[in-house]
Copies of this chain bind each other. A is one copy, B any other.
Amino acid sequence: MARTSLPYSVAQRLPRYLMQVQNLRQVGLKWISSQDLADTLGLTSSTVRQDFSHFDFSGIAKRGYLLKGLEAMLAEVLGADANINMVIIGAGNLGRALALHGQFPARGFKIVGLFDKDPRIVGRKVGRLEVQAMKALPGVIRKSQVAIGVITVPAASAQEVADQLIAAGIRGLLNLAYVHLVVPRHVAVVDARIISSLQELSYAIKAKSRPAARRS
């Protein structure tokens, strides 16, 4: 099967498949069965096979899936095979850490600009990048064909920054701020709030420690 847009539940699993496949390859493996892949990710083999059936990619009975082909397929579907340019808005601790993070280029993501509205920070060097003023943002986005804006400003200014990015033609936002962003339909948003993840974890811990509750 092919190219119709995937169920959201499937799309959400793709990054995990890709990660696992890349790590398995690095360990030297060539093939993986749906069962083994499912086990390592906490899924069922049925789910894995159903998921892969959405693509022009086949396994081979008795051997499973060729990891190399699987990686290529997943990377292509996720758009992680081409280079994607990003800007980071907010040169605080988090923004600077991401700007310095060495793993992005290897995965196809390139940071082409780091911005902050605080004039005391503008001009500082962060690795190879220099913190730029917000007014330089539209120019950089257009010139470098920037697809993604990473928002690491405080919650109070995140919506304003999002609006500026959108006005400048950005296509997707990675939001690290503790607010819900309102955006037009053509812009994609993925939230990556550490605080929310910690809350989720805190709940999961409580749930696990609760006296199993099942049949009582």
Complex CA gap A212/B32 in Å reads 34
| 14-43 of chain A: CB within 8 A of chain B | 14-16, 18-20, 23, 40-41
Min CB gap A142→B, angstroms: 17
Binding site secondary structure of chain A: helix
- A20-B180, A107-B195, A180-B16 known; A200-B208 Cβ under 8 A: no
A196 within 8 A of B: yes
Contact A23 B195 (CB under 8 A): no
Q: Scoring A residues 169 to 185 as 1 if CB is less than 8 Å from chain B, else 0, what string do you get?
A: 00111100011101001
Given contacts A101-B93, A178-B103, A180-B40, contact A197 B202 (CB under 8 A): no
Q: Are B196 and A15 closer than 8 Å at their CB atoms? A: yes
A148 touches which of B173, B186, B193, B202 (Cβ 8 Å): B202
